Structure 1
Amino acid sequence: MLTIEGSASLNLVKEQLDESLSIAESNLEQFVEEPDNDGRLKTAIEQFAQIKGVFRLINLPGASMLSEELELLGHKILARTSDSNNEKLLAGISNAIMVLMHYLEYVEVKKQALPVLLVPTINEIRFFLSKPLVTESIFFDLGENPERPPKEQAAEADIEQLLQIGRRLRHMYQVGLLGILRNESVSANAKLMSRALVRIDNLSGTKPLSKLWWLTLAVLEAVGNDLVQLNVARKSLLGMVDRQIKLVVTMGESALNKEPSKATVQECVYIASLAGPNGEYLKQVADLFKLDTGGLTDQNLRHEIEILRGPGGSVIRSVAQALAEELNHIKDSLDLGARGASGDQESFEATADSMRKVANTLVMLSLSKAAGIFKEKSDVVRNWSSDDIDPESDEFNKVADALLYVENSIATLSPRRGPDSSIASNTAEDAINDGISVTQLDDARTVVVGEARAGLSLAKRAITSFMDSSWDGMHLNNVPTTLKSVWGGLVFLQLHRAAAVVSACESFIDKKLIKDGSLTPTYQLMETLADAVSSIDYYLEGMEDNKPIGDGILEVAEESMRELGFPVAA
């Protein structure tokens, strides 16, 4: 059975989820105005219960957990509708709905579901519910929990020595911890804590709790080298280790014989995974737990959180649309001025003012490079006059290039989630070097996808006619040529995997159904072929609607061709 999870399946139900969240938000607002009308609150709770099930179905665990907490908080408010403290709780629900809407846009655009992004909001709701807060590693899959690597010198535990100097070593650890809690000299204090732990670890021998000292050394390595940022959860983890040292100092061997909890191990390994194998202990942890985060670092994660907190995709799209319209007016004005149709000084000054206005908006969207270029060129345009303007001059062409650069920068706003200036600049610069417009290129891609789908429709109709006419090969004569044109379009779109399937379909029809008369077609055989063609069509339909269905559908097409004896090379 094919399972399409996460971002791919979200595209199929996002409109319904957005509608459910909007209904919940609207009813919540009306409940705030009419606290006696608990029917509004009940409707919102029903929507939370409904979307919780959908999120579970499409495998978005973070969104599912947040929806469940919102449902519980709604019931808590419902049970005490006359309580004046409900105002804070209702504000928390309202904020969580906004975060959830942003998160769905994030998953849809980024094509990745990072449930850890929702942990702060989940904890905010759990605080209102008086429930224990979840750790940031809750969605991290630890996998197996093996024993720590053997020590270079497998010495026995020296309990007597540990009890003698344990208090001093704990004090050394606490001094460093105090500095870290105050965010003072983090690197130096992390080294001090590590020194104390190394001594404790050496005296602990191979006792089960020594695994905690080893994992904590990896965490301190990450903190000391500024590979991860200190937050409340990570400071709390280091504080918990201090309490474990205290237990060892007071209880001795019995405390050392206890295994660290799986939750603690998971938290340490999660931090190590965000730091990467950039140190002695971090590398040991990465090797033992076979860590592979796909390049996700703590810095990347903080950046993604900032994106999630930014303006919603609908706001960004509205701003991008308004800027695009303003750019069109500027281009029209410059075109008229270049042809002398409206080349007075006031016209050029008005155009320059419009350019500066666009530049100021770009600054607010963190597109500072595009803004700087446009401001510079606005001063050039302001000095133009109808007498000396030359549309063939190098100066005029540079203004046109600046317009194209800004247009491409604005075009990158809509498909991405939030103002990521680095992506915008790179895309714009690549396009400017090629002398093309991103908007026009997107339009061209849309046309090619449409033509490819039209070709597949012709092929499907021909296959249906072939089956209905008791295998009259005349209906298939033009299909190979049609599929070759579809293949060319997919190659142009750089959809090489889909193109390979279409090429295999073309080869099967040409060699087995047209040229090789020995093959007796069956309905099952033709249905398998139709599965492959239809799968490619569904794949392109998702692109056409800007709701990609994911590569899972391509696996269906490849399996179909493998069954027909025309396997697609990986």
Structure 2
Amino acid sequence: MSDVQDHSVLKWIRGELDSSLELARHALESYVDESGPETELDGCIAQLHQVRGTLQLMQLYGAAMLAEEMELVAKALGSLGEKRRKESAEALMVGLAQLPEYLEKIESGSADSPILLLPLMNELRAARDASLLSEVALFAPDLEGKLLPADGTQDANPELPAVTRKLRYQYHKALLDWYRGEDATGGLERIAGIFRDLEESAWTDQVKRLFRVGQAVVNALRDGGLDSGIATKLLVGKIDREIKRVIDVGEQVVAETPANDLMKNLLYYTACADSSDPVVAQIRQEFDLTHGPHG
């Protein structure tokens, strides 16, 4: 339905929306630069609230969802510590720059497609510690079937917990290098290498696959096919939970109770990546993500 909606009315209201977003941006800049008065932040929140209401009335649901995420981040800013406030304000600035571009595309005849805004919405959600949205089902409807554990039990590698324990410390060091930006490319290269070693050491399809998909995302981050934002950092960091599970309960248990939500998020970002990396290509083919959210 939304694909064929008439968005010509957007022309008449675009000026008002752009002006509200511009006011919100100025208010946010004043608040951040001056560590300014709370009234500036209140002004930013009020403008975003107005934009969101207008977009909802116009049934531009993707744009309205983005405006809502921006409003929620603006509301959270005042209660964040200084470092997080800076990161979150940056994510909000990106949103304020991208929403007008998105509206322009719709005005030129593109469909209102929330999935195109998902990486940005996840940046904003990560900025306020909300769970990430996973819309993989929208573009890979048969994914659930592909993520089911294989029939019949597969042998697990009894040595994997010991191998994993050794590699986990290196993984933490590499993550820190990436997070802090001191040696981001080197950190990502080492993370990819560790995931490759874990994939080669695992015996079950489920655990091998987790580390292969992890590699795809990290390779795409390394070659610039994905942005290293808060959301992708959190996501790659979440693989640590599975690494710890392998150490604590062994490969067999992890293979039988796979972390499918994590896997779906990793696959979503693999589908979004603008990367010609061979591991990315292999995962896209295996999970039929070739048509991805942009295709």
CA-to-partner distance for each residue in 1:31-72, whole Å, 9 max, x for gaps?
xxxx9xxxxx999968744531432xxxx4421313555788
1:143 and 2:147 correspond: no
Could you give the per-residue CA deviations for residues 485-542 of structure 1, whole angstroms, max 9, x where no partner exists?
A: xxxxxxxxxxxxxxxxxxxxxxxxxxxxxxxxxxxxxxxxxxxxxxxxxxxxxxxxxx
Distance 2:275 2:73 in 1: 41
User: How far apart are the structure 2 equivalents of 1:267 and 1:43?
Assistant: 31
The equivalent residue for 1:195 is: 193
| Kept in 1: contact 2:160–2:201 (CA 8 A) | yes
AA at the equivalent of 1:51? L
CA radius of gyration, larger in: 1
Which range moved further: 241-250 or 221-230? Answer: 221-230
Number of residue pairs the alignment of both structures matches: 258
Whole-angstrom distance in 1 between the partners of 2:164 and 2:141? 33
3-state SS of 1:239 partner: helix
Match for 2:170 among 169, 172, 197?
172
d(CA) in 1 for partners of 2:168, 2:192: 11
After the TM superposition, which residues 228-239 of structure 1 pair with which residues of structure 2 at under 5 Å, given as runs?
228-239=226-237
Would you say 1:62 and 2:62 are equivalent positions? yes
Query: Which residue is equivalent to 2:214?
Result: 216
Contact 1:142 1:266 in 2 (8 A): no
TM-score by length of 2: 0.63
Match of 2:10 in 1: 14
Tell me, yes or no, if the aligned pair for 1:190 and 1:221 is still in contact at 8 Å. Answer: yes
Quick one: structure 1 residues 122 and 24, their matched pair in 2 at CA, closer, same or farther if it must change by over 3 Å? farther
Q: Distance in 1 between matches of 2:46 and 2:169?
A: 54
Q: Which structure 2 residues correspond to residues 338-417 of structure 1 after superposition, within 5 A?
A: none
Cα distance change, pair 168–11 in 1 and its aligned pair in 2 (3 A): same
What pairs with 1:155-304 in structure 2 (closer than 5 Å)? 156-159=155-158, 161-206=159-204, 208-252=206-250, 253-262=252-261, 264-275=262-273, 278-293=276-291
AA in 1 matched with 2:279: Y
Amino acid at match of 2:108: V
Contact 1:218 1:272 in 2 (8 A): yes
> Unaligned regions of 5+ residues in structure 2, if any?
25-38, 40-44, 76-90
**227 and 98 in structure 1: CA distance in 2 versus 1, 3 angstrom threshold:** closer
Relative contact order, CA 8 A, sep 6+: which one is greater?
Answer: 2
1:122-168 per-residue CA deviation (whole Å, 9 max, x = no partner) reads: 865996xx6716458689634221437999xx972112x11223210
Offset of residue 272 of structure 1: 2.1
Distance 1:208 1:65 in 2: 34
> Structure 1 residue 12: deviation in Å?
2.7
State the identity as a percent. 20
Give the TM-score normalised by the residue count of structure 1.
0.36
Q: In 2, Cα distance between the equivalents of 1:279 and 1:47? A: 39
Task: Kindly report which structure 2 residues correspond to 1:546-561, keeping only aligned pairs within 5 A, or say none.
Answer: none
SS across alignment from 1:240: helix
For 1:172, what is the secondary structure of its paired residue? helix
In structure 1, the residue matched to 2:104 is 105
Specify every segment of 5 or more residues in structure 1 that has no aligned partner in the other structure, as ranges. Answer: 29-34, 36-40, 77-91, 298-570
| Structure 2 letter corresponding to 1:65 | M
Partners of 2:216 and 2:282 lie apart in 1 by: 8
Change in Cα spacing, 1:292 to 1:13, as seen in structure 2 (3 Å) is: farther
8 Å contact from structure 1 (residues 48, 68) kept in 2: yes
Deviation at 1:231, TM superposition (A): 2.3
Deviations 1:220-267 (A, max 9, x none): 2323444334222222222111232012112224334221223x2232
**Matches of 2:275 and 2:72 in 1, distance apart?**
40
TM superposition shift of 1:219: 1.6
Partner SS state of residue 181, structure 2: coil
Amino acid at match of 1:183: G
The 1:216–1:44 alpha-carbon spacing in structure 2 relative to 1, beyond 3 Å, is closer
Change beyond 3 A, Cα 1:14–1:156: same
